[in-house]
Structure 1
Amino acid sequence: MQYDFISIFNLELIAVLLALSYLILASRQNIICWYAALVSTSIYTYLYWDVSLYMESLLNVYYFVMAIYGLSQWKKKEKSENSIDIWSFKKHSIIISLIIVLSFISGIFLSETNAENPFLDSFTTWGSVITTYMVAKKILTNWIFWIVINSVGIFLNFDKGLIMTALLLFIYQIISAIGFISWRRSYYEQIG
């Protein structure tokens, strides 16, 4: 049992450091962020499955795929002058409604399993699915979405004993605010 805890702790530490690297690099619009995401999401897929947060585990499979997609999208955007985009209020309203509905439906299904906190787990999963797409497309408000999602994620991870990951998500809150300010500045510079 001691060996398992130490192994999980070491894996979590590696995943945390790579995930932190991803976010810092993404906030600076550095394409290398996607490589850090590939490795951290692989580790988190295993860790979340191990603690019965199945939606979080599946989410990290999605993150892995989105890291590949994000890498290709950012390579295309490097050649474009208008790299950061803005969505309309209507589109944001639709996206928020979609996250809520999908979270509710998934939560109902997961309530029939041994999943922990099925509705909150579903919310962080569906919110993250949509928001990761927003990052790949360089939508400015992705940072605001992350602040909300990570607030719930802090509770989920702390509750399951993934203390370093809960701390990571707290740090994400700070970096997300910085990322929003940085991307907003870049957006206004690109539109002149």
Structure 2
Amino acid sequence: MQALLDAIAGGVIALSTWEAAAVILGIAYLLLAMRQSLWCWYAAFGSTAIYLWVFWEVNLLMESVLQLYYLAMAVYGWQQWRGGGRPAGNDMAGEVPEQTLAISSWRMRSHLYAVGAVLVISAVSGALLARYTEAALPYLDSFTTWGSILTTWMVARKILENWLYWLVIDSAAIYLYLERGLLLTAGLFMIYLVIVIFGYLQWQKHYRAQFA
């Protein structure tokens, strides 16, 4: 019995250590994204790689699968921010500017389509998970997953309103992680809520400056 308890304690410590590393990289990602720094995607890749394992260990299946998408989007986002929107043949002395993709904003119709699609897909996948798997909180897990898929793409394309979407998704995710005992990750998302507000204000300032 003691050996079993020691093994469980060791597993919890190992999980918490990796979770802490993912949290640090996650904070770095958001702070760098707020500054529109290309380095945010390196931090995102590292944090995502760790969370892929962490979420699988606590049976958050959709969140774990989501990390595979995040890995791909870290590469895509890096490519878009590094070269997206740059006119061909416009490089100076072979240099590639770090920031070439302008911030853009969606019209209300685009938001209605996006939110509606996320809710419908979340309901369908949540029902499938509830029936065929032992996934924890399948509907909420599905909502945060599909919402994150959309919003991460919005970040990669520098859509201004991505920060407002993150406010909703991160708030829902806090409950999800607390319920599964991922206290450090829940704390990370509480910090995210604060950073997201400043991120939106800073991007909004840059967005308006583009038309000044």
TM-score range relative to shorter protein:
over 0.9
- Whether 1:178 and 2:185 are equivalent positions in the alignment is no
What is the one-letter code of the residue matched to 1:137? R
1:134 to 154, 165, 176: 154
Task: Give the whole-Å Cα distance in 2 for the aligned partners of 1:153 and 1:79.
Answer: 31
Distance 1:31 1:175 in 2: 18
Find the counterpart in structure 1 of residue 58 from structure 2: 51
Counting matched residue pairs gives 192
RMSD: 1.1
Aligned to 1:91: 110
- Could you say if the C-alpha distance between residues 102 and 39 of structure 1 is closer, same or farther in structure 2, counting changes exceeding 3 Å? same
Q: 2:122 pairs with 93, 100, 103, which one?
A: 103
Shift in alpha-carbon separation, 1:47–1:171, aligned structure 2, 3 A: same
- Distance between the aligned counterparts of 1:79 and 1:180, measured in 2? 20
Relative to structure 2, which stretch is displaced further, 107-116 or 71-80?
71-80
Say whether residues 1:41 and 2:48 are aligned partners: yes
Contact 2:160 2:204 in 1 (8 A): yes
Between structures 1 and 2, the one with greater helix share: 1
Correspondence for 1:24 among 3, 21, 31: 31
Identity value in percent: 43
**Counterpart of 1:83 in structure 2: which amino acid?**
A
Please list the CA deviations of residues 26-58 of structure 1 after superposition, one character each: whole Å capped at 9, or x if unmatched: 011111000001111000010101101000001
Aligned equivalents of 2:98 and 2:26: distance in 1?
Answer: 26
SS in 2 for 1:116: coil
Residue 93 of structure 1: CA displacement? 0.5
Larger radius of gyration: 2
* In 2: Cα distance, 1:45 partner to 1:79 partner: 28
Gaps of 5+ in 2: 1-7, 85-96
* Unmatched runs of 5 consecutive residues or more in structure 1: none
CA offset at residue 21 of structure 1? 0.3
| TM-score (normalizing by structure 2) | 0.88
- State the AA in 2 paired with 1:163: L
Query: Deviation at 1:80?
Result: 7.0
How far apart in 2 are the matches of 1:80 and 1:150? 26
Q: 2:145 maps to what in 1?
A: 125
Q: Distance in 1 between matches of 2:209 and 2:152?
A: 24
**Aligned-pair distance for 1:148?**
0.1
Question: Which residue does 1:165 correspond to in 2?
Answer: 185
Is the 1:147–1:173 Cα contact (8 Å) retained in structure 2?
yes
- Contact 2:38/2:98 (8 A) holds in 1: no
Q: Give the partner amino acid of 1:111.
A: A
Do the aligned partners of 1:81 and 1:190 also contact (CA within 8 Å) in 2? no
| TM-score relative to the length of structure 1 | 0.97
Indicate the larger mover: 73-82 or 138-147: 73-82
